Structure 1
Amino acid sequence: MREELPRVVRDDAWAPLVIRTDFTDDAAWREVVAALAQAVEGERGGESAVHLVEDRRWEGVPGDLALAAAARDEELSVVFLADDVTMRSPLRPLLALDLGADDYQDLDPVYYQELIDSPPPREVRVVPDAVHMVHGNMQLANVDFAEFVEDAAGDPDGGVRDATAASAPTGSEG
């Protein structure tokens, strides 16, 4: 039986929460952290830093338990996990989990049976440079989580990317 997961207290509601659940590759984790830090430099300097949780009590925690623990933060709409897929993939995609998906459990089945039977997806892979974009849009309720899932389905690697980061000039145009 797993002991209760530690409570996560974020100092800044605008800081995305990234929890490390895989401790097999410290070099890969450093790459994730560097990519997250790079995503807030330059033009995005006004964005909040990322709240990183690197506590071995989270090691191997599956998405459903991470969701339950993260749901204690009522202001949080999405949590990101650095899991085994993150550590193995060269893109370092984090697993984004939608905390708002539980809202469908309390719906009246008379009117919402189809939605109850086929709830929207609650997880998607997000490359580090898109974490702030996904988090910000979810916090502001600008975009439904399902739209990020749809974007990832159209990506050759199956992940959400920040289109503004991908289309930013590289300095080699001329």
Structure 2
Amino acid sequence: MLPAIVRRDEFAAVVIRTDYTDEPAWQAVVADLMQSWGEDGEFEARVHLVDDPVWAGVAPDEIRTAVSRDETLSVVFVVDRVTVQSFQRALLALDVWGEEEDLDPMYYQELIDSPLPREFRTCPAAVHDVHANLSLGNLYFEEFAEAASLDPEGVLMPL
């Protein structure tokens, strides 16, 4: 069983490292994530890094299960093998909200027929926008996933 993510600032984006093959790439991602963000860099970066080898190689569904105990999380970002090998250092954004139990049967059938996206890639510079907007309920996960799908590389760039 994976450990709970503890002692985190609820306003910080959670970034989980699952690849330990390239330390310089990890450090580059962390440096990018720590940059101020916003239109003029007016916001301080708030990131909770999970850098524990127990998470090495963990699959997205296992991550969702592990973090589902934290009801305040809507998204987590994963630094995986794709991240460390890509030029853009694109993190995997995972939708971690569970499905509603009391869904309208018609709506539920629509979800079965065409499920909403549960993940997309995002460059480090867009992580804070995604996290903030999802936390505040300004935008939905699928809106970010759609924006990422419009990029030729499938990576969400800063808004």
Q: Determine if the TM-score, normalized by the shorter chain, exceeds 0.5.
A: yes
CA deviations over 1:120-156 (Å, ceiling 9, x no partner): 0100001000000000011011111111111111112
Q: Indicate whether 1:68 and 2:83 are aligned.
A: no
**CA root-mean-square deviation:** 1.9
Task: State how far apart, in whole Å, the 2-side matches of 1:42 and 1:10 are.
Answer: 29
For the Cα contact (< 8 Å) 2:34–2:45, is it kept in 1? no
| Aligned length in residues | 159
More helix as a share of residues: 1
Q: How many Å apart are 1:86 and its aligned residue?
A: 0.2
Q: How many Å apart are 1:56 and its aligned residue?
A: 0.2
Q: Percent identity?
A: 52
Q: Indicate whether 1:119 and 2:139 are aligned.
A: no
* Equivalent of 2:30 in 33, 39, 47: 33
Name the residue aligned to 2:155. 159
SS at structure 1 position matched to 2:76: strand
> Counterpart of 1:82 in structure 2: which amino acid?
V
Name the residue aligned to 1:172. none
> Counterpart of 1:156 in structure 2: which amino acid?
P
Q: What residue ranges of structure 1 are gaps of 5+ in the alignment? A: 164-174
Structure 1 114/43 Cα, relative in aligned 2: closer, same or farther at 3 Å? same
Q: How many Å apart are 1:112 and its aligned residue?
A: 3.0
Q: What residue ranges of structure 2 are gaps of 5+ in the alignment? A: none
Q: Which has the larger radius of gyration?
A: 1
TM-score (norm 2): 0.91
For the Cα contact (< 8 Å) 1:91–1:127, is it kept in 2? yes
Instruction: State which drifts further: 39-48 or 148-157.
Output: 39-48
For the Cα contact (< 8 Å) 1:93–1:127, is it kept in 2? yes
